[in-house]
Amino acid sequence: MQTATLTDVTVNAGHLGGVVKLRGASAAKMTARDVNVYYGEAQALRQVDLDIGEKRITALIGPSGCGKSTFLRCLNRMNDVIEGCRVTGRIEMDGEDIYDTALDVVRLRARVGMVFQKPNPFPKSIFDNIAYGPRIHGFANHKNDLDEIVQTSLERAGLWLEVKDRLAAPGTGLSGGQQQRLCIARAIAVDPDVILMDEPCSALDPIATAKIEELMDELRTSLTIVIVTHSMQQAARVSQHTAFFHLGSLIECGDTDEIFTNPQDERTQGYITGRFG
């Protein structure tokens, strides 16, 4: 499993549109170097080096338990919540070490939002769900400001027309797809630079999935998205970059087209053609 060394990544980094150089790359929003993650004694990630391109969608694929969700959760330090979880290595965002003790994790998470596998709206009204983030961060000094943030967020998430007449209704009363878009709107409302999505469509039907994918494509114009997905088709449809993880290591990463048509590693080849996983 030591094949995904720096050299591999250097080679593959060349695929990132030719723009991304490995270190100090200007178009990389986030960079991860030598990232190892341990849950207690068990090592979940080994020596991961990966650049996340700005205003791109990066798909993380791989079989279950390969560490892709763990990696995703490193990017906004959600792993801090898990007891016994230890992260080593260096992850930077805009050149700033996000694991630096001087950096406040609360501020980091305001800049790096997250959408989860299962829609998790708060047991509050639709309005309060969206307004929650802006309120705690003090974005809105005025009720009108808040109204505006809620409306734009819902509009950007493509949910405004469906819910504008029932903003006081509980968010949990929406359908699964609507709930997930509500969670995306909730994440957008804080105006983050990056949104992490952990299998956002795995609990949704194809129509709701299509809506979310459409939404991601629109959001790409203004933010950076990292998505973990089990669906090869989804990765191929929505992403510009793809990273393949296997048994805790990053095997291969590069342009999505390249990975899907001409994978360099035979494990990648095997996974995307469905021979294992």
Confirm or reject binding of residue 16 to other proteins (CB under 8 A): no
Cβ contacts of 15-18, under 8 Å, gap ≥ 24: 15/253, 15/254, 15/255, 15/258, 16/51, 16/53, 16/241, 16/254, 16/255, 17/53, 17/240, 17/255
229-265 core/surface letters (b: 16 or more CB in 10 A; e: else): bbebebbbbbbbbbbbbbebbbbbbbbbebbbeebeb
DSSP one-letter code for 56: S
Closest listed residue to residue 252, CA positions, set 260, 262, 264, 237: 264
For 102, list phi and psi in degrees, rounded to 5: -75, -20
Confirm or reject binding of residue 81 to other proteins (CB under 8 A): yes
Q: Least separation, in Å, of the C-beta of 123 and other proteins? A: 3
Applying CB under 8 A, among 16, 28, 30, 110 the residue interacting with other proteins is 110
Q: Least separation, in Å, of the C-beta of 28 and other proteins? A: 22
For 53, list phi and psi in degrees, rounded to 5: -70, 140
The interface region with other proteins, picked from 129-137, 215-223, 235-243, 261-269 by CB under 8 A, is 129-137
Confirm or reject binding of residue 114 to other proteins (CB under 8 A): yes
The interface region with other proteins, picked from 6-14, 93-101, 112-120, 219-227 by CB under 8 A, is 112-120
Q: Least separation, in Å, of the C-beta of 120 and other proteins? A: 4
The interface region with other proteins, picked from 4-12, 122-130, 144-152, 239-247 by CB under 8 A, is 122-130
Please report, for residues 38, 124, 190, the alpha-carbon distance to residue 167 in angstroms, rounded to integers and kept in the order given. 42, 10, 18
Residues 183-212 that bind other proteins (CB under 8 A): 183, 186-187, 190
Closer to other proteins by Cβ: residue 186 or 267: 186
Please report, for residues 101, 158, 168, the alpha-carbon distance to residue 112 in angstroms, rounded to integers and kept in the order given. 17, 21, 27
Applying CB under 8 A, among 152, 172, 202, 269 the residue interacting with other proteins is 172
Confirm or reject binding of residue 133 to other proteins (CB under 8 A): yes
Confirm or reject binding of residue 120 to other proteins (CB under 8 A): yes
* Residues binding other proteins (CB under 8 A): 76, 78, 81, 106-110, 113-114, 116, 118, 120-124, 132-133, 136-137, 170, 172, 183, 186-187, 190
